[in-house]
Amino acid sequence: MRRLLLAVCCVLATVPLVPSPARSQTLRIALREDPDILDPTLARSYVGRIVFAGLCDKLFDIDEKLQIIPQLATGYEWTDSKTLLIHLRSDVSFQDNEKLDATAVKYSLERHLTLQGSFRRSEISTIDHVEVVDPLTVRLVLKTPSAPLVAQLTDRAGMILPPQAAEAEGKDFGLHPVCSGPFKFTERVAQDRIVLDRFAGYWDAGTIHFERVIYQPMPDTSVLLANLQSGSIDLAERILPTDVAAVQRDPKLRIVTSPALGYEGITFNLHNGDRSKAPIDQNALLRQAFEAAIDRQALVQVVFNGMYKPTAQAVSAASPYYIASIRPPPRDLARAKALIQQAGVPTPIAVTMNVPNTPDRTQEAEVIQSMVHEAGFDLKLNLIEFASSLQAATQGGFESYLIGWSGRVDPDGNLYTFLHTGGGQNDGHYSSATVDEMLDQARQATDPDARRGFYTTMWEALRQDLPIIYLQNPVNIVGLSAKLTGFRPVPDGLIRLQGLAAAKP
Amino acid sequence: VNGHLGSRIAQIIPTLLLVSVLVFCLQQLMPGDPAMVMAGEERGDPQVLAQIRNELWLDRPLPVQYVHWMGNLLHGNLGYSWRIREPVTQLIEEKLPVTLQLSFMAFVIAVLIGVPAGIVAAVQRNRFWDYVANAVGLAGLSTPTFWLGIMLILLVSVDLGWLPPSGYVGLFDDWRQSLATTIMPAFVLGNAIAAILMRHTRSAMLTALDQDYVRTARAKGLREWSVVIRHALRNALIPVVTLGALELGTLLSGAVLTEQVFSIPGFGKMIVDAVFNRDYPVVQGVVLVTAFLYVLLNLLADVLYVVINPRLRDG
């Protein structure tokens, strides 16, 4: 037995001597999930977009202030409300050395629009057709005016693929993608790592300071934290607010935050099947009372360590379309009780809420439960696995649903599909003539002031109807090695590799 | 023996067929529409959903789906992952060696700790080392894998910086790094099984040590270690081998949690992710291969009985 213990100790003692691979040239990034397919046309996941940030450049990008800036394009102009002219850089090659030109842009946009299973189609469906004006200019002719279109081209819909490679690979393109970004695809081991190597022919090569990037999925947050603390990874996205203090205590690490684009809130089932017959779904006064009973500030403090921002609207305060006059109301129990009395519904009022069974959402729901209880609501929590909760939402199997949205650059992406009559994710089947009209108008108005006006009118109607009680805007929390410099916190939460460098020891 | 083994082998095919039907039916009972999960943020668009259902054969009746899948299976094709489009056979080829390595190492650790501890406990019955072994065994049994894993990561990786906290390096890529990444999870996984093996070895040894042939061996004047190892242990090992084979199955399922904690890209992690993403072809493929392995291990246990205990050779 003694010998055995000795042997085990010897094995353990030799292991730390195992040399670790050269690290200075490699950047290791932890992702909270394993991305889905790496094809910009077919991809759906948020983490996939983080990998694309290293792999595929886009026509446009956004900066820290959510301004649209050129990337593969040099600029754009609206020649009329339905014609968008995009000018391209002349010095861009794909990672297989094919030249990026107007033909490739036309090919890629058409692929997004027509490839079977494309998830980009709905994002750019206002495009009627694409014309090549000259090798460095494309013209997008639209079916209807579309204010959100350019913002869509700052994401996967704006990623340009090499026509030859994409055509040859078809739907398997995502198994070995080729793009025009700073790093080229090397290998992927599902659920373990995605390895990208520096692309020497990158048009903006001067901004790239690593030879290799490895993305590693780490779904468990304590494991992710341990990896960050032990230096096995250099950067981790979406650190939990409750883990921030632990990262800050470590002198080798630092935290960078930026307001995120999304929101979290409670969606009510107003007209989707039998479950919408619950009193709270039928009576806006009760929803107003429910909201008045919630203390958003306390909620954020308890569940999200005070890091998320209480809100009453779907766009983040970072957006130019955040309407400053729509503020989250403070908790007012007297008002909540008065509203219930006005509604004439006897208490306790039973309400069921579907809650995806993650720890933070569960805790959030429990805090809400105790807050609204004081106003006279008997809130029952239906904890449910995420995929099942989505199905229940679509099929009307809910009275209320605690759910969030990752957010889009343009406000339209956070509003239209959720609030417009017949919208794809309007799970509660909310329908309001005013809201519909304002959403349609805002979608077509290219003048920012006019759009803000439409959205203000829309919010005034929504504040009365409350089909969704918006609770808070999340914050992107990135934990990174203190040695890393040049990290840019952009509200979309993606990790841009341009400018990122390791300080010399 | 040949007849016995023959009938065991013949049972494999109907068992696997039954498993495949069961898996196919059970996942239909899983709530959550796979098409909706695949559609992600496009889930509100009926056209997208219809297109996904068509592409994945989800709009056909269940028996038709099953026959289609079985037909492909007979050609060695398990389909492709709906989520990342890689062929399931390739994913299994990638992940199986990882889990097998982890399980094998865990089993070796379990045997190295459990069997000697059991012997010592039995020989030292009701004395100091027996109590120590029992206490350690009880602790091993009652420590949740998840907790032990995280604690070890915090201690060994974060505080001491000896081992990488997670991840995996292939055995043939760099065996030293491979050992460094798997020793901690293998210990966590083997720990609980070591405790079970210890308890069973102890009780089997106690029974064996009370037998007449042991008394005879002692009376012959054999040395104590020879009595214990050669005579008592050999007989005591039979139930332990059965248990070991069954516990190898436990190892495969225990790997689910351990791989999750240590972010090891093995079978367990693959099936958890596949279930959450409703990636049916992956779930089916993994369950089928796991069932096959389990059946195979039990067969192996049957063979081992005969090797260990010659009396069964005539049976």
Interface contact A119-B40, CB threshold 8 A: yes
Interface contact A387-B277, CB threshold 8 A: yes
Q: Which of B36, B179, B269 sits opposite A394 (nearest CB)?
A: B36
pLDDT at B184: 92
Q: Report the amino acid identity of residue A91.
A: D
Looking at the DSSP bridge assignments, the partners of residue A419 are: none
Q: Other C-beta atoms within 10 Å of B171: how many? A: 14
* pLDDT confidence bin for B303, thresholds 50/70/90: confident
For residue A215, the chain B residue with the least C-alpha distance is B167
Sign of the C-alpha dihedral, residues B60, B65, B71, B76? Answer: positive
Burial of B116 (0-12, 13-18, 19+ CB in 10 A): middle
Tell me the nearest-neighbour CA distance from B174 into chain A, angstroms. Answer: 10
Q: Which of B55, B180, B265 sits opposite A190 (nearest CB)?
A: B265
Which 3-state string (H, E, C) describes A308-341? CEECCCCCCCCCCCCCCCCCCCCCCHHHHHHHHH
* pLDDT confidence bin for B257, thresholds 50/70/90: confident
For residue B157, the chain A residue with the least C-alpha distance is A230
Tell me the nearest-neighbour CA distance from B103 into chain A, angstroms. Answer: 18
List C-alpha distances in Å: A216 to A290, B161, B251: 42, 20, 25
More confident residue, B73 or A373: A373
Q: Which chain A positions have a beta carbon within 8 Å of B263's beta carbon?
A: 192, 216-220, 223, 227
Task: Determine the Cα–Cα distance for residues B311 and B8; give it in Å rounded to an integer.
Answer: 19
For residue B33, the chain A residue with the least C-alpha distance is A391
Helix, strand or coil, per DSSP, at residue B196? helix
For residue B84, the chain A residue with the least C-alpha distance is A37
pLDDT in tens, B168-210: 888 888 888 889 989 999 999 888 888 888 888 888 888 888 8
For residue A387, the chain B residue with the least C-alpha distance is B32
Interface contact A218-B40, CB threshold 8 A: no
Give 3-state DSSP helix, strand, coil % of chain A, rounded to 5.
Answer: 35, 25, 40
pLDDT at B206: 86
pLDDT at A11: 46
User: Which element (helix H / strand E) includes B307?
Assistant: helix B280-308
Interface contact A191-B269, CB threshold 8 A: yes
pLDDT at B304 over 80: no
Q: Which of A15, A218, A394 sits opposite B43 (nearest CB)?
A: A394
A313, A328 in Cβ contact below 8 A?
Answer: no
Interface contact B183-A191, CB threshold 8 A: no
Interface contact A44-B270, CB threshold 8 A: no
Task: Determine the Cα–Cα distance for residues A220 and A47; give it in Å rounded to an integer.
Answer: 15
Pairs across A and B, CB distance < 8 A: 152
Q: Which of B33, B113, B153 sits opposite A226 (nearest CB)?
A: B153
Cβ-proximal residues to A382 (8 Å cutoff; 6+ apart), any chain: A352, A353, A354, A355, A398
Q: What is the mean pLDDT of each run of 10 residues along chain A (505 residues)?
A: 46 42 73 91 90 97 92 95 95 94 96 87 91 96 93 95 93 93 94 93 94 92 88 93 92 94 96 95 96 96 93 91 93 96 94 91 95 96 88 91 91 93 91 96 90 95 96 95 94 94 79
* Alpha-carbon Rg for chain A in angstroms: 25
Q: Which of B94, B120, B260 sits opposite A189 (nearest CB)?
A: B94
Q: Which chain A positions have a beta carbon within 8 Å of B37's beta carbon?
A: 387, 390
User: Which element (helix H / strand E) includes B249?
Assistant: helix B234-261
Structure tokens at A288: 């107003």
DSSP A424: T
Q: Which of B120, B165, B273 sits opposite A191 (nearest CB)?
A: B273
Task: Determine the Cα–Cα distance for residues B315 and B313; give it in Å rounded to an integer.
Answer: 6
Task: Determine the Cα–Cα distance for residues A321 and A323; give it in Å rounded to an integer.
Answer: 6
pLDDT at B1: 53
Task: Determine the Cα–Cα distance for residues A119 and A216; give it in Å rounded to an integer.
Answer: 24
Q: Which chain A positions have a beta carbon within 8 Å of B84's beta carbon?
A: 34-37, 174, 190
pLDDT at B252: 75
Residue of B81, B120, B153, B166 for testing the chain A interface, max A β-carbons within 10 Å = B166
Tell me the nearest-neighbour CA distance from B291 into chain A, angstroms. Answer: 22
Task: Determine the Cα–Cα distance for residues A190 and B308; give it in Å rounded to an integer.
Answer: 41
* pLDDT confidence bin for B315, thresholds 50/70/90: very low
For residue B54, the chain A residue with the least C-alpha distance is A117
Q: Which chain B positions have a beta carbon within 8 Å of A4's beta carbon?
A: 112-113, 116
Tell me the nearest-neighbour CA distance from A391 into chain B, angstroms. Answer: 6
Average pLDDT score over chain B: 83
- What average pLDDT does the segment B257-284 reach? 86
Q: Which chain A positions have a beta carbon within 8 Å of B267's beta carbon?
A: none
pLDDT at A500: 94
Residue of A112, A169, A230, A232 for testing the chain B interface, max B β-carbons within 10 Å = A230
Q: Other C-beta atoms within 10 Å of B97: how many? A: 15
Interface contact A232-B45, CB threshold 8 A: no
